[in-house]
Structures are given as C-alpha cells and as structure tokens.
C-alpha cells in the first residue's frame, strides 16, 4: 500500500511539473481580432501588428512580446488570409481556391527559455499537405513536413535540434501551401522534457519515503 501511496505522490508531482515546464507560446485567446489578406501575386507580403491583450497568453506570460501577422499569395488568383480570431480563440490561415500562399505569425521580445524537447500545437484543416516551419532566433529551423488532411483536428509535436533554446528572442511560425485550406492553429507550446520530469517525480518519491522513515 505504501508503494502505491508514494507512486501516487510521484504521479501527482509529475503532472504538476508537466504543466509548469511547458511554455504556452500562444493561446490566441484574444479579445481583439486581427487579420491581413493578400490578393496580389507579387513578392510583397501583407503584414500588420496583431494585438496581444489581457486575455492572451504569449511566451508563458512574459511581458513585452509582440506578434505580427503576414499573408502572401504565391500562386493562383484569389486571396490568402491570416486571422487571429476572437470568436473561436484560435488562429487561421485561409486560402480561397485556387489560391496558394504563406501565412506567418512573427513573435519577438525579451529572452525566454524554451525548456523541453520541441514545439507542439493543435490544429484542424481541410486539406492535406500544409507545412509549418518554425524559425527560431538561435538559427534553428524546425518543420512539420506535410500534415495529413483532417476535419476533426489533431496535435503535432516538432522536435528541437541540438541548438541552444535557453534564450529565445524571436520565433516565426510559417504556414505554407494552403490551397483551398481553412487551417486552424491553437495552443502553440513547448513540450516538457520527460527525463527532467522523471527526475522531479523520483525526487518527490524520495521525499515521501524520507518523511515516512
Ligand atoms: Ca485558444
């Protein structure tokens, strides 16, 4: 019985640590919606500052971060639109068929520790092949590869490389190739490190055993 009690403590510690360690990069829970659109096939993207207000958590709550959004039509003849949406508390990159393009979310601010093994996000979309690229201030570029088509959504985890993620000052999230897509992204976050979680859980287990002794 004792073992199960300590195991329960360890699991509780593990759960508590997992939420403490992951950094919420953006929950898109904005009160003020913003959007940009591009309908001209040229080398210029449309961009605008996107409001980060009190309902919106960016970079784990670090102060002073900014978010810009861009839209760039790269093929086709209609329009591509990047939206940070108030009504659905998420963000979209939408393309009206036959448009193809790039939508970006560009973050910059004071140094934040991207503790963990990678970046993950929730998504829904209605076309296969959308790719997300993550450009970090440490020079690393992470990519999802083409995502599978789904209407019901899913979660994707992109692993960090061997770079230093202890002082990140900018991040660009690039959504590429959204022909006829209604891509929705939400809860962009870092993924906690299992090894450090296990150590903390074992530490809690040890503490529990010492108290009993
Ligand atoms: Ca949200």
d(CA 48, CA 84): 11
pLDDT average, residue stretch 32-41: 95
pLDDT at position 125: 81
pTM of the model: 0.82
Query: Is the pLDDT reported for residue 132 higher than 60?
Result: yes
pLDDT average, residue stretch 123-127: 81
Element (H, E) at 185: strand 182-191
Task: Give the phi and the psi of residue 15 in degrees, each rounded to 5.
Answer: -65, -40
Edge to edge, what strands does the sheet with 131-136 contain? 46-50, 66-75, 100-112, 168-176, 131-136, 141-143
Residue 175 pLDDT class (50, 70, 90 cuts): very high
Q: Shortest CA distance to 120 belongs to which of 24, 48, 54?
A: 24
Q: Tell me how far the alpha carbon of residue 2 lies from the centroid of ligand 1, in angstroms.
A: 41
Residue 20 pLDDT class (50, 70, 90 cuts): very low
The second-level CATH assignment, the architecture, of 23-191 is Sandwich (2.60)
Q: What percent of the chain has pLDDT over 90?
A: 60
pLDDT average, residue stretch 137-153: 88
pLDDT average, residue stretch 174-186: 84
pLDDT at position 43: 87
Q: Tell me how far the alpha carbon of residue 88 lies from the centroid of ligand 1, in angstroms.
A: 7
Q: Please give the residue that has the higher pLDDT: either 6 or 89.
A: 89
Give me the residues paired with residue 143 across strands: 133
Residue 129 pLDDT class (50, 70, 90 cuts): confident
Residue 198 pLDDT class (50, 70, 90 cuts): low
Query: Is the pLDDT reported for residue 199 higher than 70?
Result: no
The highest-confidence range among 9-18, 22-31, 146-155, by mean pLDDT, is: 22-31
Q: Tell me how far the alpha carbon of residue 185 lies from the centroid of ligand 1, in angstroms.
A: 8
Q: Tell me how far the alpha carbon of residue 197 lies from the centroid of ligand 1, in angstroms.
A: 26
pLDDT at position 17: 46
Q: How far is CA 130 from the centre of its chain?
A: 15
DSSP code, position 4: H
d(CA 198, CA 209): 16
Q: Tell me how far the alpha carbon of residue 89 lies from the centroid of ligand 1, in angstroms.
A: 4
Interaxial angle between packed helices 194-212 and 2-21, expressed in degrees from 0 to 180 and rounded to the nearest 10? 140
8 Å CB contact between 104 and 183: no
The highest-confidence range among 102-111, 150-159, 197-206, by mean pLDDT, is: 102-111
Q: Tell me how far the alpha carbon of residue 66 lies from the centroid of ligand 1, in angstroms.
A: 17
Q: Tell me how far the alpha carbon of residue 60 lies from the centroid of ligand 1, in angstroms.
A: 14
Q: Where are the domains of the chain?
A: 1-22+192-213, 23-191
pLDDT at position 85: 96
Q: Tell me how far the alpha carbon of residue 191 lies from the centroid of ligand 1, in angstroms.
A: 17
pLDDT average, residue stretch 54-63: 94
Question: Residue ranges of the alpha helices (H) in the chain?
Answer: 2-21, 194-212
């Amino acid at each position: 019985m004792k073992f199960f009690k300590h195991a329960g403590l360890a699991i509780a510690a593990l759960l508590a640590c997992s939420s403490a360690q992951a950094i919420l990069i953006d929950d898109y829970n904005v009160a003020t919606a913003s959007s940009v659109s591009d309908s001209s096939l040229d080398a210029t993207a449309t961009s605008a500052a996107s409001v980060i207000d009190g309902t919106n958590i960016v970079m784990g709550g670090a102060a002073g971060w900014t978010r810009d959004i861009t839209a760039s039509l790269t093929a086709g003849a209609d329009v591509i639109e990047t939206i940070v949406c108030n009504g659905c508390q998420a963000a979209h990159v939408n393309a009206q068929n036959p448009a193809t393009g790039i939508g970006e979310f560009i973050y910059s601010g004071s140094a934040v520790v991207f503790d963990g093994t990678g970046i993950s996000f929730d998504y829904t979309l209605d076309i296969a092949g959308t790719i997300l690229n993550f450009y970090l201030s440490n020079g690393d570029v992470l990519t999802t590869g083409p995502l599978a088509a789904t209407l019901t959504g899913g979660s994707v985890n992109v692993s960090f490389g061997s770079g230093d993620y202890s002082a990140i000052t900018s991040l660009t999230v690039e959504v590429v190739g959204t022909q006829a897509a209604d891509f929705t992204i939400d809860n962009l976050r870092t993924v906690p490190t299992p090894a450090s979680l296990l150590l903390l859980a074992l530490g809690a287990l040890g503490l529990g055993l010492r108290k009993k002794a």
